[in-house]
């Protein structure tokens, strides 16, 4: 029997929040290389792999603050601007979208936005260079807009509020432990993405340990995964308290 329209449960999710670096654009290795080069030029020790392993998803200001504290020396004047120039140059020459990112954004039938630890200027350049900007116009949120960056929940809560979606109705797509941690702290569902070129064999396990409901490596699979998660939520609601299985823990696609 068809449920009366007034009684139908709202579809899930109401909003999909995408991280940008490593999720929509394949930028993490470019960023880490540029940052490591700038740090080396300033007399600091840090390899691109070390930056990726320790600081993926963390705002750059927090990362540099940690490095300065650990190595006991200040950054030179103009360091931030020099890093930005290196990254912008790398973006213009080599940045590519994550495979199937554009098609996935077109296929999703729910509102989407970007919520990233990058600056607004860097986000806009990344999306422009990769041709994704027109799909996300006016729906780009940066850590610059909030008091605390990831792993705090502030950015995701701010984006959801601006987009008019309750946290429980939001899905976050993230490639970092910090991002998944922030999503869970915000009361949102998190899917971990491992398809960026910076990923390591144990990335998926780390995302699951941080609280991701599932991990996947092909962006084209996202619409189907969302549909499966929605059906699983519906079946658990129908089953009532104490019945049904948790949503897709540890799945891969």
pLDDT for the residue numbered 57: 87
pLDDT at 161 over 80: yes
Tell me which residue of 78, 130, 129 sits closest to 103, measured CA to CA: 130
Q: What is the pTM of this model?
A: 0.85
pLDDT at 164 over 90: yes
> Are the C-beta atoms of residues 46 and 40 closer than 8 Å to each other?
yes
The residues annotated as belonging to the active site are 19, 21
The CATH number, out of the four listed (3.30.530.20, 3.40.50.1000, 1.20.58.390, 3.30.460.10), of the domain defined by the range 15-27+96-239: 3.40.50.1000
Q: What is the pLDDT of residues 11-64, one digit of tens each?
A: 899 999 999 999 999 999 999 999 999 999 999 999 999 999 999 989 989 999
pLDDT at 235 over 70: no
37 φψ region: left (φ > 0), alpha (ψ -120 to 50), beta (else): alpha
pLDDT for the residue numbered 251: 41
pLDDT at 119 over 90: yes
pLDDT for the residue numbered 220: 97
Q: What's the CA gap between 159 and 90, in Å, rounded?
A: 28
179-187 mean pLDDT: 98
The residues spanned by each domain of the chain are 15-27+96-239, 28-94
pLDDT band at residue 246 under the 50/70/90 scheme: very low
Residue 244: burial class (beta carbons within 10 Å; 0-12, 13-18, 19+): middle
pLDDT for the residue numbered 11: 80
Tell me which residue of 117, 130, 108, 2 sits closest to 56, measured CA to CA: 117
Q: What is the pLDDT of residues 72-82, one digit of tens each?
A: 999 999 999 99
Question: If you classify domain 28-94 with CATH, what class do you get?
Answer: mainly alpha
Share of the chain above pLDDT 90, in %: 82
Angle ∠(178,179,182) on CA atoms, nearest 5 = 85
Q: What is the pLDDT of residues 130-145, one digit of tens each?
A: 999 999 999 999 999 9
pLDDT at 185 over 90: yes
Q: What is the mean pLDDT of the chain?
A: 89
Q: What are the percentages of helix, strand and coil residues in the chain, rounded to 5?
A: 50, 10, 40
| Helix, coil or strand: residue 175 | coil
DSSP codes of every residue in 66-114? HHHHHHT-PPPTTHHHHHHHHHHHHHHHH--BPTTHHHHHHH--S-EEE
């Amino acid at each position: 029997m068809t449920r009366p329209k007034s009684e139908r449960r709202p579809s899930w999710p109401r909003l999909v929040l995408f991280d940008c670096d490593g999720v929509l654009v394949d930028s993490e290795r470019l960023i880490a290389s540029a940052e490591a080069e700038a740090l080396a030029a300033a007399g600091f020790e840090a390899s691109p792999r070390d930056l990726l392993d320790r600081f993926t998803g963390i705002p750059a200001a927090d990362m540099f603050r940690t490095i300065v504290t650990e190595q006991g020396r200040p950054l030179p004047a103009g360091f931030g601007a020099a890093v930005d120039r290196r990254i912008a140059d790398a973006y213009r020459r080599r940045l590519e979208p994550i495979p199937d990112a554009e098609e996935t954004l077109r296929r999703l039938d729910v509102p989407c936005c970007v919520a990233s630890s990058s600056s607004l200027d860097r986000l806009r350049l990344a999306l422009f260079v990769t041709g994704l900007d027109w799909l996300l116009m006016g729906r780009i949120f940066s850590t610059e807009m909030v008091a605390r960056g990831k792993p705090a929940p502030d950015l995701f809560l701010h984006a959801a509020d601006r987009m008019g979606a309750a946290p429980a109705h939001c899905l976050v797509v993230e490639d970092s432990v910090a991002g998944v941690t922030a999503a869970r702290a915000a009361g949102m569902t998190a899917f971990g993405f491992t398809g960026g070129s910076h990923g390591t064999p144990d990335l998926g396990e780390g995302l699951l340990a941080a609280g991701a409901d599932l991990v996947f490596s092909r962006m084209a699979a996202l619409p189907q995964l969302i549909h499966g998660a929605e059906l699983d939520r519906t079946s658990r609601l129908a089953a009532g308290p104490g019945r049904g299985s948790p949503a897709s823990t540890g799945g891969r696609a």
